[in-house]
Amino acid sequence: MSLIPIKTPAEIDKMRAAGRAAAIVLDRLTKLVAPGITTGEVDLAAADFMAELGCKSAFLGYHKFPGQTCISVNEEVVHGIGGPRRLAYGDIVKIDCGVVLDGWIGDTATTVACGVVDPETERLCTATKQILEGAIPFAVAGRRLGDLCNYIETEALRQKLGVVREFVGHGVGRKLHEEPQIPNYGRRGSGPKLKAGMTLAVEPMINLGGEGVRILEDKWTVVTTDGKPSAHFEHTILVTENEPEVLTCMPLIA
């Protein structure tokens, strides 16, 4: 018996609304990224944007997480906490935004360049974005989850990038983390068979250097052990019989 929740059409409509809200908040936050702003200011703005859209953070208070969003700079991979750090020209900033709207969650993340970044870092960011985009078509009914996971790993390794293994994507719905776990690595043909109505947060976390990561003393911020930059992109995706539907796409008219 599969433990992976299948959403009803009415539930999917609510997930669409939550995904859209998450995408809009994330889009607004990315526009704040500039040299001199603190990560705490970006995080505070998230609370305002969420309130405006009638949703709230899915992260704040989750296992006592103290931020509205996760904001991770350069060698920070994920789960960074907004604070007094001022963004500098040449930084890359990962913003991860999860919102709850009407009891349902949308989860999406992106990596933003603060000004112009060095060519290798730019290569990392472009590759990670493309890897997420390339993984999405695997989220169709009848395919094994391992095919999607394997695609991410294979593409990253082909481009001589490090795949973070300790942190993974996940099912998402009423809860932030549902079955299944979605590692950014795996064997083709392995894992559960995907079914229409599953909603998956797919989130490659890819390093410019080695795959090793560790957690800082704040007990949240994940950093690369070699200090090299890391990129992160995430969408919440609905599995259908045909084309997957990206629930955290920016609407054309926000």
Residues that bind Mg ion (CB under 5 A): 96, 107, 109, 201, 234
Nearer to Mg ion, 109 or 127 (CB): 109
DSSP 76: E
CB of 163 to Mg ion, least distance (A): 16
Burial of 6 (0-12, 13-18, 19+ CB in 10 A): middle
What is the SS3 assignment for 93? strand
Is the separation of the CB atoms in 184 and 228 below 8 Å? no
Nearer to Mg ion, 53 or 58 (CB): 58
Candidates 220, 132, 214; CA nearest to 166 is 214
Q: How far is CA 214 from CA 65, 161, 176, 197, in A?
A: 17, 17, 23, 35
Nearer to Mg ion, 167 or 188 (CB): 167
Nearer to Mg ion, 109 or 208 (CB): 109
CB of 98 to Mg ion, least distance (A): 5
The token duo for 220 is 């949240």
CB of 59 to Mg ion, least distance (A): 8
Is the separation of the CB atoms in 198 and 161 below 8 Å? no
Nearer to Mg ion, 30 or 123 (CB): 30
CB of 6 to Mg ion, least distance (A): 19
CB of 201 to Mg ion, least distance (A): 4
CB of 36 to Mg ion, least distance (A): 26
Q: How far apart are CA 202 and CA 170, in angstroms?
A: 7
The token duo for 156 is 């990253």
Nearer to Mg ion, 90 or 185 (CB): 185
Q: How far is CA 247 from CA 105, 185, 234, in A?
A: 10, 23, 11
